[in-house]
A = this chain, B = another copy of it.
Amino acid sequence: MLDPDKTVGEVGERGLVRHLISRLPAGPGVRIGPGDDAAAVETGELTLVTSDGFVEGRHFHRDWAPPRLIGRKLLTVNLSDVAAMSGAPRFAIVNLFLPPETKVEFVDGLYDGLLERAAETGVSVIGGNIGSTTGPMVLDVTLLGLGDALLTRDGAKPGDLLVCTGYLGAAAQGIELLQQGARLAEDGELIDTGIWTPNSAPSVQHCLRAQLDPAPPLAFGRALAEHAHLVHAAMDLSDGLSSDLLSMCEASRVFAIVDADKIPLDPQVRKFARARARDATSYALHGGEDYQLLLAVAPESLEGVKDLAIVWDMPLAVIGEFSEGPPAISLKRGERLNPLPAGGHDHFRSASRTAKLERAKQDEPPAE
């Protein structure tokens, strides 16, 4: 065991790697685990590969989230991508670029969450790399999954219905609540409501969890593999409905109309927005990080998809439709149609999601 109070600079790269490897359970299908030049894993004919990462101060803040939740989310954002291809996640490579002054305790907490989430989803951590950086922490995961029927984002056809799983907006609301001082403990319980009164606690906790410990519809995504004929296109909602849907339109060369009234707004987000006389829809349209699935479904397949959603207890909403036209989106409010520009966050632009929401910060408590 390493002293949790020591820094990674003190224990050194070798010591830290050895310690982390000792924490990894042997996983099914892992022929050669971490510690050799490369890992060797048993694969099928088709392997899904995705990678996503976090930069401290941009994708996570150490004072906003306990390390365990950061570790869980680091794996979850990749799980969401595999689910959006209707795959089964299998093996993860974890790269950590850490400032030397990072405490071993932090890295262990990160691994607590990562390994817990891996165990929940049948994933084995098979290797990775530890590096030192003088800048902000950079964490990334590459996830391998088993693929069979592949749901891509380029198959939407004119006439298809635009279908969305779950509820949207809570993750973006969570960012605002974090900025207002609300906090979760490492077990996901609320330890601080921030500027909000105690009777808002359930709403606050709900949105913080959506932001810090998202729960993509992994089982439903995987179940679609056996019903792939029902779905023309699928992708996960990571950057926000407006920019992700535009990606689907571009890949599929279709036009989309979204009915604002049909967007499945998270009920807690609705409460916060109502309390401040604001438009909750913008959280769902541009907030991002909902990690729900966006599907293009032919009208005749809708009942089949709904049946599957009932089996998996997955809320489903038809929020619009695709038509012929240039890759773009119109937003329908009542009888009016307006162009909907992509407003998701772009990590390089100043108008990042976080920055955007900071400007909109308000502090009235929500109606209960």
Q: Assess the B347–A91 pair: CB atoms within 8 A.
A: no
Question: Which B-chain residue is minimally distant from A31 (CB atoms)?
Answer: B46
Contact with B along A214-252 (1 / 0, CB 8 A): 000000000000000000001110000001000000010
Shortest Cβ distance from A350 into B: residue: B9
The reply on A334 being an interface residue by CB < 8 A is no
A36-B154, A140-B95 known; A41-B46 Cβ under 8 A: yes
> For chain A, which range describes its interface: under 10, 10 to 19, 20 to 34, or 35 or more residues?
35 or more
10 additional contacts (CB under 8 A) given A35-B251, A40-B85: A9-B348, A32-B85, A32-B152, A38-B84, A38-B87, A42-B47, A47-B47, A51-B95, A93-B142, A142-B142
Are A46 and B46 closer than 8 Å at their CB atoms? Answer: no
Report which of B128, B142, B235 forms a contact with A37, defined as CB distance below 8 A.
B235
Residues of B within 8 A of A48 (CB): 38-40
Q: Copy number in this complex? A: 2
- CB-CB nearest in chain B for A152: B36
- Interchain CB contact under 8 A, A349 and B136: no
Verify A133–B55 contact, CB threshold 8 A.
yes
Quick check: is A14 within 8 A (CB to CB) of the other chain?
yes
Q: Is A25 on the interface with B (CB-CB < 8 A)?
A: no
A interface residues (Cβ-Cβ under 8 A, vs B): 8-9, 11-14, 16, 31-32, 35-55, 57-59, 80-82, 84-85, 87, 91, 93, 95, 97, 100, 126-136, 138, 140, 142-145, 147, 150, 152-154, 234-236, 243, 251, 346-349
CB proximity of A33 to chain B, nearest CB, Å: 11
Q: How far is the CA of A349 from the CA of B130 in the complex (A)?
A: 13
Asked if A12 and B46 sit within 8 Å, CB to CB, the answer is: no
- Give the residue among A16, A37, A46, A52 with the most B Cβ atoms within 10 A: A37
Q: Would B52 and A144 count as touching, CB distance under 8 A?
A: no
